[in-house]
Amino acid sequence: MKERILVMGASGMVGGELVPALRKKYGAENIIASDIREESEVFKGTGPFHTLDALDVAGTKTLVEKEEVSTIYMLAGLISAGGEKNPKLCWDLNMGSLRQVLDLAVEKKLKVFWPSSIAAFGPTTPRKGTPQKTVIEPTTIYGITKYAGELLCQYYNRRWGVDVRSLRYPGLISWKSEPGPGTTEYAVEIFYGALKEKKYTSPLSADTYLPMMYMDDAMAGTLQLMEAPGEKIKNRMSYNFSAISFSPVEIAAEIKKHIPDFKIDYASDHRQAIADSWPESIDDLEARRDWGWKHEYDLPKMTEMMLKNLREKLKISI
């Protein structure tokens, strides 16, 4: 059967990479992007786009029927720091959008991808090499929606056989779109600071380690998960998904190798408490074992790619 894919919440940071990757793989006309926001500049004009509120049940159903959609990537949602500013909206949007997509998946036999996050873990979780199954007591509203969403995915799979697949994304590092209001996003902002002003004030302390991943790896893993035969998907909550782990002082040192007069200073804000409640590194043995996940980018290679691509994008020659 021909893949017809709807990407909801496509104008965010993940959509900015996922839509072009899917269009390349399955043909531009088969990838329908949608968002309540404007069409992302990153993929504007490269294929179909519809304005859609991820909570609009009737509108989503009409679009799925009209475009004969077979798979939905549901990316809409409010992330960590933004969620703390508006917890009610975070719960309503993150849970409502997932719930309606899962209901539609039951009715129309759709395949679903939904991203979870390292934010599902909390301060009582073991912080180093966090295993797949462990104590999970998230303290941010974003993390609560991720953990509840994981359980909902598993419920819809067990109860109605929905083919829903999910990854606990670490901090994703991308140059194509602007980062959203998150915590790990400092590791994207730092590159803009380095190139534009040769300085950056970190909202996290020098030694705050968090799990991170270059976006090319994340997209490769996402497509690999979605293409794996169903019997390989042993986990219908969300897979631990890991690549690298670094702290602000380490990423700054790596940037300095390319921009020697780059300066970092530290002024922890509300994001510090969020970061302190999350793991420092993740054990993703099950993803590697079940469907062959393998990352490619380490910190030096990621830094090189970020600087090279952002220099071109921002037309900066340092």
The least distance separating ligand SER from the CB of residue 4, rounded to whole angstroms, comes to: 28
| Torsion over CA: 60, 62, 67, 70 (sign) | positive
Does residue number 171 form part of the binding site for ligand SER (CB under 6 A)? yes
Residue 133: how many CB atoms within 10 A of its CB? 9
Given a contact cutoff of 8 angstroms between Cβ atoms, the answer to whether 287 and 293 are in contact is: yes
Which tokens belong to 70? Answer: 């077979």
**Among residue numbers 130 through 169, which ones bind ligand SER (CB under 6 A)?**
169
Does 221 engage in binding with ligand SER (CB under 6 A)? no
Of 182 and 221, nearer to ligand SER (C-beta) is: 182
Vertex 74, ends 81 and 281: CA angle to 5°? 50
Residue 106 or 151: which CB sits closer to ligand SER? 151
Least CB distance to ligand SER at residue 33 (A):
21
* Residue 119 · residue 278 · CB < 8 Å: yes
CB 259 within 8 A of CB 191: no
Q: Of 228, 220, 223, whose CA–CA distance to 291 is shortest? A: 228
Piece in contact with ligand SER (CB under 6 A), picked from 40-48, 178-186, 201-209, 229-237 = 178-186
Number of residues counted as binding ligand SER (CB under 6 A): 10
Measured distance between the N- and C-terminal CA atoms of the chain, rounded to whole angstroms: 49
Shortest Cβ 51–ligand SER spacing (Å) = 25
Nearer to ligand SER, 110 or 187 (CB): 187
Query: Residue 278 corresponds to which tokens in the numbers above?
Result: 């999350």
Q: Does residue 119 bind ligand SER (CB under 6 A)?
A: yes
Asked if 9 is part of the footprint of ligand SER (rule: CB under 6 A), the reply reads no
Q: Choose, by CB under 6 A, the member of 97, 184, 240, 245 that binds ligand SER.
A: 184
The residue count of the chain comes to: 318
Stretch that binds ligand SER, among 70-78, 159-167, 179-187, 225-233 (CB under 6 A): 179-187
Is residue 291 involved in binding ligand SER (CB under 6 A)? no
SS3 313: helix
How buried is 249 (Cβ within 10 angstroms: 0-12 exposed, 13-18 middle, 19+ buried)? middle
Of these, 9, 12, 182, 248, which contacts ligand SER (CB under 6 A)? 182
Q: Which is nearer to ligand SER, 169 or 246 (CB)?
A: 169
The whole-angstrom separation of Cα 249 and Cα 255 is 10
User: Is residue 78 a contact partner of residue 36, using CB atoms and an 8 Å limit?
Assistant: no
172, amino acid identity: L
Q: What minimum distance in Å lies between the beta carbon of 117 and ligand SER?
A: 3
Closer residue to ligand SER (CB): 49 or 185: 185
Which of 165, 168 has the CB closer to ligand SER? 168
How far, in Å, CA of 252 to CA of 290, rounded?
35
Active site residues: 142
User: What residues are paired with 212 via a beta bridge?
Assistant: 171, 244
String marking each residue 53-92 x if it binds ligand SER according to CB under 6 A: --------------------------xx------------
**Interface with ligand SER (CB under 6 A):** 79-80, 117, 119, 169, 171, 182-185
